[in-house]
Each structure stands twice: as C-alpha cells, then as structure tokens.
Amino acid sequence: MMKTLRLSIIAFLFLPLVLQAEDIPFEFERADHEQRYKELVDELRCMVCQNQTLADSHAPLAQDLRNEVYRMIIEDQQKQDIVDFLVQRYGDFVLYKPPLKNTTLLLWFGPFLLLLIASAVGFSLVRSRAKVVPEELNQAQKERLRQLLDEQDSNKAS
C-alpha cells in the first residue's frame, strides 16, 4: 500500500513535466530568415511568463507568438514591421527592452525610485534610533546605583 502511494506521489509530481507542450521546430530556407527569427524571439517577451523571452518560454501563447513571427518572416516582412505589429497588438510590454518614453518611465525608473525610498526610510530609522539618549539620573537614582555597585564589590570580595 505504501509503495503504491509513493509511486503515485512521484508520478503526480512529474506529471507537469510530461504534459509540458513541446515546441515546434522551424525550418528556414534562407539563413537571413533564421537569423532574424532568432534575434526577434530573443528580443520579445513572453506575455504569460513575463520574465522570459519568447525563445525561453514554453507557454502556449509564446508558441503562438513564435508561430506568428515565423509566418511573418517567411512572408519576408522586415524586423521592424514585425516588432511594430506585435507592439501595436500587445503594447510595449512585449518588448524585452521597452523604449524609454512617457508610458514606460515607471518601468525604467521604478526600481531605482523604490530603492531610494527604502534607503531614505532605513536611514531615517537608524538616525531616529541613534537620537535616543538615556535621560540623566537624578540624585536618588545615582545613590541607589552606588549602593548596588558597592554591594556587588563586597560580594565579590567575600
């Protein structure tokens, strides 16, 4: 019973690897077509994975976009025309390195802005804690402290 359960768990864990869609390899008649295809799929972002290029992604949408890029290259469309088509369809986010313009300013400078804010908050916290100064002891507290220290010294001597 335990052995069957273990095998079932192992099979269940490896199931996603088996079910992963296999990419369709493309055949090119011209070397320049293949070169343009490779450049494009390395420059375009998978809209599902978001942090992978089309070349790296195994998502079905990425395969569809690779098919579209392949089709447009076989139709002898230029690289910029293909990029423009995909940007028009999916926005600048489809570009792995989007251009610097008003709509992408936050994308380009957002991480630096967050780092600056986090640094300012951290600096402020450290500075505020450094300002905490113990208050002066009054005469009664000083006397009590002397008594405690004297008792400690006398206990050590004995």
Give CA 56 to chain center in angstroms.
Answer: 16
Q: Is the pTM above the cut of 0.85? A: no
User: Who has greater pLDDT, 34 or 9?
Assistant: 34
In this prediction, residues 23-49 reach a mean pLDDT of 85
Interval 100-121: pLDDT, tens: 888 888 878 889 999 999 999 9
CATH of domain 19-99: 1.10.8.640
Which residue type occupies 154? S
Instruction: Give me the residue spans of the domains in the chain.
Output: 19-99, 103-132
Query: Which range among 55-64, 98-107, 113-122, 147-156 has the greatest average pLDDT?
Result: 113-122
In terms of Cβ atoms closer than 10 Å to its own Cβ (0-12, 13-18, 19+), residue 51 is exposed
pLDDT at 49 over 60: yes
- β-pair partners for 45: 53
CB neighbour burial string for 23-45, b if at least 16 within 10 angstroms, e if fewer: eeebeeeeeeeeebbeebbebbb
